[in-house]
Each structure stands twice: as structure tokens, then as C-alpha cells.
Chains A and B, each alone.
Chain A
Amino acid sequence: MMPQANVLVIAPLRPEREAELRGLLASMNFVPGQVNPANALVPFGQFSQIHVARFVILDDQTTGDLQKAYGIPAPKYPLSLAFLADFDGPADAFRADLAKRAGKGLERIFSCCDGFAPGADLAGWMKEREISSATNYVNWVGRTVTQIREEDALRLTIESHLQAKSAAFAEKNPREIHATLREFLQTEIRAGRLALTPQPATPFGWWLRNAAHFIAVPLLLLVLSPLLLLYLPFFAYQLRSREKSDPEIAPRVEACYEEQLATLEDYDVTNQFTAMGSLKPGAFRRWTLIFLLWLLNWTTRHIYTRGQLARVGTIHFARWVFVNDRRRLLFASNYDGALETYMDDFINKVGWGLNLVFSNGVGYPTSRWLVLDGSKDEQKFKYFLRRHELPTNVWYKAYPGLTAFDLKRNTLIREGIEKTHLSESELRQWVALF
């Protein structure tokens, strides 16, 4: 298995070059919201390892909320550019590949940022400015872009075969269907019309680190549990007293901002979401969030690795990243469906989980005991999210037209076709995939 990795480069802009940068980023799109995969600057389509990538200018409009809510002067953060990518294989190889094939374009982009001089070591410069995520989510760990494309082709081949031979298949039972299709696909593969590349070996280093992490986190929790238990009543007190007084800032966004965001959405069956906000002031919220994201990251690394984040099956990639000395949080995701659907899924399926994380942000709708209420104040929560959302300047996804569910179904089709022995019930379920 080839695990995915990701990068996030954040670099402050040179103010005098902001307009130029915006122009460059806009030139990568056909129209706002629709990237040209073969654009001259970073031809994403040529990178067979990239799943999703984006450029976004982190123009957070909400930094003044600290002042509004707590009377703390709003820190002045420099306007920055963020580059995010999720891809197959290790980050070093990816950076090198980027520098090789998109070096010129990236140089033009990054020259608009502080501290980049053309001719500098691009990969090194990026690496220096990288920030790792506090929690990272991958819908299906180890499923490569190549695999996704092959499995999509597999399904389409089967579908058109079933259609062409519908009379012959009409009365077949699941076992016969499976056997016939297997045979057909083997000929297709032999004829070179279809490929199902076997899984590569899992890199040993990755496997080891992953296994160590799997054990280390619960172990550490176990060791710390007496302390945590002792602290719990204090924590509860601190939490509740804050929850009772933390102000909400969740007005409906202005129509023009709403339009600016919506213009970037709903071309593909999947959308991007980038949002940013400040943490509530003080060590309590900061450490609570650090701890929670650390736990969450354990679950996304080891539990939610095959198609679902708790009950939500529509997220391809997502991450939560601390920036600016852990005073702000960046959230980026790639989700299926329209934003309204996404937010409803959030509220109704994992409202408690959202509260855990986002209730530590300034202005979040009032929560109780960290998991209750909050997002269940539906309209306020939606306004809050929209208000913190940032227009994503450039967004690329390698497989337009495919949802996370499509990918899952295609993988299940493939897993079924590669097996010779399936039980009756497995066969029935497999046949229902078409």
C-alpha cells in the first residue's frame, strides 16, 4: 500500500505584489471556480500523484472578532498565501517533482511572497515554510490516484458490458454474473484494454511509524489517566464557566461575500472548503484544542481510514492546522455535494464532533459540555462557517465527477472481481453494486 501524504506551505505576501499574485492565480482557472488542469503555472493534470490541491490567499476577515468579543486588540497578521496538496507517496519526492515540472510557475507565484528569490532551491524553500496538520483526514488510506482511475475505468467497462449484453445477463444468478464478468475482465486485461495494478508494498518506515503511533497514543493516555482524571473536575468547571460567558459572533454574511464564495462552488460533484478563525484567548482553550485534535488525529490515522469520518462519508481529504503560534486554526476540506448539504450532514451526523473542535474558536454558537448545542443552533452555525470561509483562489481535484462514495463502490467492485471465492451473501451484495 502506498500511503498518501500532504503539504501545506504558508508564506506572507509582499504587499506590493498582491495584485500580481491574484492575477497569476486567476490565470490558472478557466473561470473562477474551474481550474485549468493544464494551466501554464502548475499543470496539476500532469502530476499523476496529486489527488487535490489548492492555492488560497488567507485573507481572514474575522481577526477583529477578538476585539469585539474579548476586548483584546486584534493582532495584525500579514496577508499570506497557502498552497495545499494531498498526493500519493512521500512529500520529499513530491516536492522534487513539483520543482522539476512546475518550477518556473511556482517561482513566479512564490516570488510574490516574502523571502523568495528566483533561482533559490524551490523544494527547500517550500519545506522550510511547511506546517503540519494537527489532524489530517484521508478518506481511504492508501488508495492512489492511479487506483482510482483504474477502478473507475473498470466500473465503466463493466457497466457498458452489462448494458450491451443485458439479455444474456438478465436471468443469471450472482454466482454466474461474477464468474462471467471475471472471465470477461481477464480478457480485457490481457488485451491491454484495462489495467488493475497490484498494490505496491507498504513502505516499511511508514508502517513502523504508524504502528508506533497507534500504540503510543493510548499508552500515553493510560499513563496520564490518573492526572487527567484528577484534573477533570477542574476542567469541567473551567469549561462551563467559559461556555456560559463566551460571546457569539455569527451574523449572516453580506450578500456580496456569499456570492463571491458561491461563485466558486458546484461545478464538480465535489467542492472545496477553506476556513480560518482565531482561537478563544488563553491557554485553556489552546490546550484543550491541542489535546482534542491530537486525539482526533489518532482516530483518523487508525480508525477512520476506509471511507468514513464517523458517519460522514462525503469527505475526500480534510485537515485542521494550527497557524500563527496556535492562535489561529485553518480548516480545509474537499467534500461532495453543495455546501448546504455538507453543513447539514455536519450538523445532523457529527454535530458533537464539530463542537469539540470549533467551539474553541472565537464567536462560535454557544456550546454546552463541549459537545452539546453549538452546531445545533443550525442557522447561526451555518452563518458562522460561511463567515469564516475564504474564497479559494485555485482548486484542483484529479477525478472530477467522482464522489467519495463512487470511489468506495468502485473499490468494492474491484475487490469483488479479484476474489475467486465469495459467499452467497457476498455475491448478492456485490451484484447490487452495479
Chain B
Amino acid sequence: MLPAVDYSDVQGLVRFGFANMTEAVYLLLNVRDPQAARAWLAQAPVTTATETNPVPSTALQVAFTRQGLEALGVSDRVIAGFSAEFLSGMAGDANRSRRLGDTGANAPSAWEWGGSGRIPHMVAMLFAERGRLDGWLRSIRGAWFLEGFNEMGWLTTSDLGGREHFGFIDGISQPLIDWNRTRTVSANGNQLAYGNVACLGEFLLGYPNEYNRYTDRPLLDSSDRGAENLPNAEDQPGKRDLGKNGTYVVIRQLRQDVRAFWQYADEATRTAHETGHGVAEAMVGRRLEDGASLAPLSGASIAGVGTTGSEAKRRQDVRLNQFNYATDPDGTDCPLGAHVRRGNPRTPDLPGNPSGILSELMHMLGFGETSLHEDLAASVRFHRVLRRGREYGPGLSPGEAIQPAPPGDPERGLHFIALNANIERQFEFVQNAWMARTKFDGLTEESDPLLGNREPVRGCPFTNTFSIPRKGKVRKRLMEMPQFVTVRGGAYFFLPGIRALRYLAEAGGA
């Protein structure tokens, strides 16, 4: 038996979305006085992943950028053990920005925060049940807090009842984390069926990931100052694990132009002779009303779908997530480029559902392909993210959105939040290879219909199309799609385990 996870050492956000706490604000902080900051951190009432009854009505989570660790006085040697993406930062170099699609209107130079010189040291995420946020804020922002930190900005959120600003239900599909550590993967074996269960190590450092390996993170000698209170490294006896029970948090402030979205979608629905919200649904890949997939449900069950929670919850999960795209290779049910299909193409390690060693071998050697697209985006299990985003700004119904904008129309959007143990292989891969790339799954001249920056790439003067394949007919192709989502800020944070947090709070204080 593998050692059980110590939930009391994990920040709660990894396990819970805090759905009962409909109010939230994320405070972007800079360390002003390290001494006071450390004192505050040492006693901060950070919510853990331990299940309580009743569930808490407020929560606090804290996470740090590289700059924050430096400001707290954590040694360079320790900091060097974090991943390269974290160290360099979301907007740290132009090459990364190019890969993430942060060019043109998305360029970090125009961001409100997170660009050069505007990188916060820390984020304190506060969650509260309705009506309780103000009180929670007051109690958190005590004397040490105000002395220790400068507030660079507040990311406020709004509760749209489980829908994002374009009007679609969000948070339907999430990987199911294998908290009990019963999932077995072998480094060399293929997973022949798409499943929704992810190894703990994909979302928490210090545990084996989908390759059955421990993702790199800072390990300390037990003799290092302050290290004696850190957990042991499971894979390296004698080492203390600063990463254990921690993970990385990606935050991106994404402004949504809801009016442009619905005005474009409405017009396109008319000219493309679709009905209802056809074009918008094709862009998302789910129905507006109930979130149902455009791809047909599969008869067979899918590992990790409909297996947790109440009976009603299970049934709902089956209704909304028991599908993959194997029966829709050309995208005639759900367009290949639909947002959810890009976000998770739901493919196993090998295409074609091979049965028997021989057939598996043939597929491994690249034979027996039955459709052009079936092996273009394989092995999604290495590229899952846990989405914990929340909306900001006032809501706007599709009906209101087709009206022209009044003067001073406020900004609205998504504070996109993703948790993952390997930013490069998970968030950045999804953002780069699946969302931003104009060649995803054999498509061309189009990027994600919701997120794409529509910037030209070399040799492709336009990338602002969207194809809706039709069975036995010429595809519909939407042209001149404007940019709907603009990046306004963002950063990579490290969300430490509780013991690691205490270490960080003490590390710099000599």
C-alpha cells in the first residue's frame, strides 16, 4: 500500500472548487516588509483539503511567484529547484509568449498585471459564502498583513451561477484525481482506452505522475536549515521535499468581449442557416442550455466518469461526460476545432481501439489507421489541467449582448485558473498545441474559436476562420471571426503544501 495523502498538508483548492463559497477575491500582493510578511504567513489560516462537516464557509489559499520566494528570502539554491517555466514566468520571455499566443492584443506589454515590472510576489485567494466576503477580508487583512504587503491589485469575481460570460455552463469536465493512489500506470504500457482518472502526481508534486515518475521539484537535505519540518521525499530517501503536496497555479485574466461573441455568432447562425444558438454551440462544443456534448454519448462507461458523489451527480456526469470523439472522426457532430474538443480531444495512447498484442503492435508501428485525424492528438492523459477559474464583471445574457454597447460598458471575463504539477506539459501544452495552434488536429487557418488571437502566422495570412464539418456535404466555414478573448494579465504561482508554506515563511528569517 502506498502511503495515504495527508490532506491536512494540501491546500484545499486542489481538492475542492469551494462551490458553496460563491464570493471570492484574489489579492495580488508584493512583499513590503519581509519580516511582517513572514509573520503573517506563519499563522495564516490557510484552508486545507481535509474534509469537514459542515464544510467551511470561508477559505484562504496562498501561492507565490518566483519573485515572491526571493522577496521572502528563500535561498537561490532552493529556488533553482523549481521548474524552468515557473522560474522564467508566464511573461518572462518573448519565446514563451509566442508559444502561448500572447502576441498582438494579448502581448504582456499591455497587461494590467503580470508583465515586466508588474509581477506580483504572491496571490492570496479568499473565498466566502454569500455575504461573508467582506468580513473575511477584514479578518485576513490584519496588522501584519497590511504591514507585510503592498496590494498591487484585487482580482474581484462575480457569481454567474455556474455559467461563464458567453452563457455556457463551465466546470463540467474535470479530471478525476486519484487521491487514493490506486491507479497504476507503467512507464512503457499503453492506455488503450480514454479515461478520466489522473495520477495524483499530475496535480500534486511529490507523487508519481502519468509516466510513473516524480516530477522535478526542490529537494532539500535534512540538514538544511528549516528542512526538518518538511515531508520526506518519497522517491529519494534522505531528502526533504519542498514540493510535496504543493502544485503550480496558472492564473490568466481573460477579458471576454461578450457582445462581439454573440453578435458574430448570431449573424453567422443566420448566414450559415443554422438554428437557435447553433454556431455558438459549435464553437464551444457543448449545448448552451444544459451543457450536453455535441458528440454522441458512448454506450460503454469511461473510467472516472460518473463514479463519485451523490447518485444524482453521478447520473449527471454520465449524461454530460460519457463520450469521446472516436465515433466522430471528421467532426461532423462536434467540430474538430470546438473549444472543448481542443481542450481535451479525449484520445487514448493508441488510436483504433486495438485488441490483442498483434494489433497493438501494428498500431504502434503506425499501421491500420482508419481515419486521417485519429492519431494527430494522442495521449491526452499527459495534458490535463484542473480548472478552478471564476468570472469577473457583470453578466450579460445573449439577448442583451446583441445590443450595442452602452457608454462605459464594464470589462467582464474569466480569471482562468489552472492547477498542474508540470506547467510545460500540461497548461502550456494545452494552450500552445491545442488552443493557439492553427494546425490543431489537421485543421488550418483557425485557432481556438473562443481564445484565438487571430494573428497571422508565417505563410498563413489569415487564421480567423472556423470550420463546421457536415456529414456528406461541404463544410461550413466561418470567416473573419474577430478576437473574443484578450489576455489582460497572468502569472505562474507555486501553491505550497502547508508544511512547505511554514518553511517558506521561516526560510528567509535568519
Which residues does A use to contact B, with CB under 8 Å? Answer: 159, 162-163, 166, 169-174, 177, 252, 255, 258-259, 262-263, 265-269, 304, 308-313, 336-338, 340-341, 344-345, 348-349, 351-352, 372-373, 376-379, 399-403, 405-406, 408-409, 412, 428-429, 431-434
- Is A268 a contact of B95 with CB atoms below 8 Å? no
- Is A311 a contact of B364 with CB atoms below 8 Å? yes
Bound CA span A434–B460, Å: 16
Total interface residues on B, CB under 8 Å, equals: 53
B459 contacts partner chain A, Cβ-Cβ < 8 Å? yes
Chain A positions within 8 Å of B99 at CB level: 266, 338
Bound CA span A280–B366, Å: 30
Q: A268-B459, A309-B366, A340-B425 are in contact. Are A428 and B379 (CB under 8 A)?
A: no
- Is A252 a contact of B84 with CB atoms below 8 Å? yes
- Is B474 a contact of A377 with CB atoms below 8 Å? no
The stretch that binds A, out of B169-177, B220-228, B428-436, is B428-436
- Is A310 a contact of B425 with CB atoms below 8 Å? no
- Is A337 a contact of B433 with CB atoms below 8 Å? yes
- Is A172 a contact of B437 with CB atoms below 8 Å? no
- Is A341 a contact of B433 with CB atoms below 8 Å? yes
- Is B473 a contact of A431 with CB atoms below 8 Å? yes
Of A269, A309, A310, A409, the contact of B459 (CB 8 Å cutoff): A269
Chain B positions within 8 Å of A308 at CB level: 366
Of B93, B188, B211, the contact of A262 (CB 8 Å cutoff): B93
Closest chain-B Cβ to A46's Cβ sits at a distance in Å of 18
- Closest residue of chain B to A312 (Cβ to Cβ) is B366
- Is A259 a contact of B364 with CB atoms below 8 Å? no
Leading 3 A-B pairs by shortest Cβ distance? A401-B459, A400-B459, A262-B95
Q: A340-B429, A406-B444 are in contact. Are A376 and B187 (CB under 8 A)?
A: yes
Of B84, B425, B469, B472, the contact of A258 (CB 8 Å cutoff): B84
- Is A377 a contact of B213 with CB atoms below 8 Å? yes
Could you pull out 5 A-B pairs where Cβ atoms are within 8 angstroms?
A162-B474, A163-B477, A172-B473, A172-B474, A266-B95
B479 contacts partner chain A, Cβ-Cβ < 8 Å? yes
- Is B425 a contact of A267 with CB atoms below 8 Å? no
B5 contacts partner chain A, Cβ-Cβ < 8 Å? no
Chain B positions within 8 Å of A349 at CB level: 375, 378-379
B77 contacts partner chain A, Cβ-Cβ < 8 Å? no
- Is A372 a contact of B473 with CB atoms below 8 Å? no
Taking CB atoms and an 8 Å cut-off, the chain B residues in 370-405 that contact chain A are 372, 375-376, 378-379, 382-383
B88 contacts partner chain A, Cβ-Cβ < 8 Å? yes
- Is A401 a contact of B477 with CB atoms below 8 Å? no
- Is B378 a contact of A348 with CB atoms below 8 Å? yes
B439 contacts partner chain A, Cβ-Cβ < 8 Å? yes
Chain B positions within 8 Å of A263 at CB level: 94-95
B273 contacts partner chain A, Cβ-Cβ < 8 Å? yes
- Closest residue of chain B to A177 (Cβ to Cβ) is B474
Bound CA span A19–B273, Å: 63
Of A348, A373, A402, the contact of B349 (CB 8 Å cutoff): A348
Bound CA span A173–B470, Å: 11
Closest chain-A Cβ to B13's Cβ sits at a distance in Å of 25
- Is B432 a contact of A338 with CB atoms below 8 Å? yes
Q: A172-B473, A313-B375, A376-B187 are in contact. Are A255 and B365 (CB under 8 A)?
A: no
Taking CB atoms and an 8 Å cut-off, the chain B residues in 45-83 that contact chain A are none
Taking CB atoms and an 8 Å cut-off, the chain B residues in 404-432 that contact chain A are 422, 424-425, 428-429, 432
- Is A434 a contact of B474 with CB atoms below 8 Å? yes
Bound CA span A259–B95, Å: 8
B197 contacts partner chain A, Cβ-Cβ < 8 Å? no
Bound CA span A172–B363, Å: 36
Closest chain-A Cβ to B260's Cβ sits at a distance in Å of 22
- Is B215 a contact of A379 with CB atoms below 8 Å? yes
- Closest residue of chain A to B93 (Cβ to Cβ) is A259
Chain A positions within 8 Å of B459 at CB level: 268-269, 399-402
B87 contacts partner chain A, Cβ-Cβ < 8 Å? yes
Q: Mark B456-490, 1 if CB is under 8 A from A, else 0.
A: 01111000000001001111110100000000000
B147 contacts partner chain A, Cβ-Cβ < 8 Å? no
- Is B379 a contact of A348 with CB atoms below 8 Å? yes
